[in-house]
Structure 1
Amino acid sequence: MARKDTEQYRSYEKDAFDNPPEGPVGVHRGNRPMIVRLTPFVIVLVAAVAAGVLFWSIFSGEAANMFNRRSEQTQTTAQTSQVASSSSADESASGTASHSSQSASVSESTSAEDTPSQTPSESESAQSTPEESQQVNTNAQITVINGTGVSGLANDRAGVLQNRGFTNVSAANPDATTVLPAQTVVYYQNEADLATAQQVANALGITTVEQSASIGTPIQVVLMQ
């Protein structure tokens, strides 16, 4: 009987119901992506972590510390603002005082300029010294006396002076009337010859310069050992 039914079924023409589609049909859903299936677990895990952190902060006192830090930061900001405002006020006050002092200084300088000053002749006479007012006379007669006994030393020193621009220089040995000093010295006759004598001493490296009215030339150099 069953065989007969099978043969009879096969004799019918096949339709769409003999080839059903693959996979679930109707109320059945297909396979969902992995991320969609894991999303509920991730949400639950994040919520659990957040609840744990909140629970720990409340019972450990960390939440109170966070509020205290925030209040301290607020106080610090307020203090900084107060200090900045007070600094601005101080700078404004100091600027006003500086402006006042500058105005007073300008007034004093104006008064000082209005006051009659010394005449040019008085100022120059007060600032100049006798040596500065004198002129070096390179044409002055200069005698170099060799009191050392070293042959040719006076000629050598006279050549040095000629190279420095002195035009009237002569070398000599001491005679019977010459009084030899204890050390090398540059003599000058008159006060007007002081600047010239000092220039001669600088050229020869001599430190002693003295005035003497008994020398025979305006400038006399006595070389001693």
Structure 2
Amino acid sequence: MARDERGTYESYQKDAFDNPPKGPIGVHRGNTSLLSRSIPYIVVVVVAILAGLLVWGFYSGELQKTFGGHSQSQSQTVSAPKVEKKQTTKENTDTKSDTDTSTNQPQQTTPQPGQQVNKQTAVQVINATHTNGYAAKKTDVLKQAGYTNATPANPSGSLPSSTVVWYQNDTDKATAQDVANTLGITAVQQKNGIAQAIVVVLLN
């Protein structure tokens, strides 16, 4: 470097070291703020808290409940149709039980195809019970059903052991069956020598 005659600082030519950049360089750092110095400690505290919560959730079961709740809901949703299937099976069983119960009750026979019901046929209703007016009551039931030639009568001669509807000819079988259905009688038999084409014998 050139040096002037006085030998002072200003007599030396300035170089890069005489004009350093602004701000801290290398080990020569300026003062930092409190927030900057606290960030590492804050990070350590947050990580410690998160680690503690993770360990607590694992051992207490809360972690499994939180992440396993969705799977449990799906399992319940999938199992719902099975419950409905069981209920449907139960309903079918109840229906079958009702059907079985109904089969134990007396079944009314319908007239055979090809036979016609003639409600103009003479029907005699015999009261062989101890109830006065019972034959007349049943006669009214037949008349309400359309049997205009139905009449009550008192018993005479031999009687059957139970309530029955007698018919004399095969052509009256369908009509006799319809009379039995109207009065709720299950026994229908063919019998010769009766007073009318159809005779209803009522017994206790």
TM class by shorter-chain length?
A: 0.3 to 0.5
TM-score (norm: length of structure 1): 0.43
Larger Rg: 1
TM-score (norm: length of structure 2): 0.46
Higher normalized helix content (fraction of residues): 1
